[in-house]
Amino acid sequence: MNPRLLKIKRMEPKIETEPIIELRDVWKIYKMGDVEVPALRGLTMKVYPYEFVAIMGSSGSGKSTAMNMVGCLDVPTRGEIYLDGEDISKLDESDLAQIRGRKIGFIFQTFNLMPGLTAIENVMLPMTFQDIPRYQREKRAKKLLEEVGLGERMYHKPTELSGGEQQRVAIARSLANNPEVILADEPTGNLDSKMGKEIMEMLSKLHSGNGKTIVMVTHDESLSRYADRIIHLRDGKTI
């Protein structure tokens, strides 16, 4: 790992009384023909600023659906979702997209990089939607890629990078707009144990060094040691 990664003075946790993310009695019901399939069944949870929270559960527990709710990628069938005190559960897609772009960074198990773009272009992409001038986008993308140890690989396309390198690009991209919250969905799922450990150490540094709020979905018990708190889900609700 690049020793220069995110060399910022460690931030002391702040005492916060208001959650940055709150789900209140959230239900998500999918319709399959005439059949209703509930993925979330009255999920209530809070995440406070500067926390590293792991959402854990077996397949079908509702953790990925919960991540979609927290990340403004979907809206609930009923219930309320608050981000920074604002009820986002009834916003339309264009408003949700603006909130995602400003406040939330995403890291996915499958990296979700644009295959036709270079690493630096992938990192610049989220800034494009925030109308940031190109020279500023390029400058920040270069800095972020250097910080994750890809200064010499920034003009390579995803197919020319290893899985670990692609996930580093994804981490740099998640930081493009300096979001308050990083959502990591099975961030080590497609990596070997050595590279998975390096990725988790990067996330830990983002949390402890940069004060980012991190919400990670995982089924891997070994990753829970990185979190401040674990939320266990079963059948679409906390246990």
**CB under 8 Å to 18, separation ≥6 — which residues?**
48, 85
The structure tokens listed for 109 are 């198990």
Q: Is 131 inside a domain boundary? A: yes
**What pLDDT, on the 0 to 100 scale, is given for residue 16?**
53
Spatial separation of the C-alpha atoms in residues 107 and 144, rounded to whole Å: 15
Looking at the domain assignment, is residue 86 inside a domain? no
The Cα 181–Cα 83 span in angstroms is 10
Separation of alpha carbons 213 and 192, rounded Å: 25
Predicted confidence at residue 165, as pLDDT, reads 97
**Domain extent at residue 129:** 49-72+100-238
Closest CA to 20 of 71, 82, 74: 82
| Sequence-ordered list of residues with C-beta below 8 angstroms from that of 234, at least 6 positions apart, any chain | 57, 58, 61
CATH code for the domain in which residue 164 is found: 3.40.50.300
Answer yes or no: is 90 within a domain: no
**Residue stretches of the chain with pLDDT short of 70:** 1-16
Work out how many domains the chain is built from and give that number. Answer: 1
What is the per-residue DSSP string for 164-202? HHHHHHHHHHHTTT--SEEEEESTTTTS-HHHHHHHHHH
**Residue 90, pLDDT score:** 84
In a domain, 187, yes or no: yes
Cα separation, 83 vs 77, whole angstroms: 17
67 within some domain:
yes
196 domain-assigned: yes
Residue 65's contacts (CB-CB under 8 Å, 6 or more residues apart) are 28, 39, 40, 74, 236
177 falls within a domain: yes
Residue 92 lies in a domain: no
Write down the pLDDT at residue 200.
Answer: 96
Q: Which residues lie across from 69 on neighbouring strands? A: none
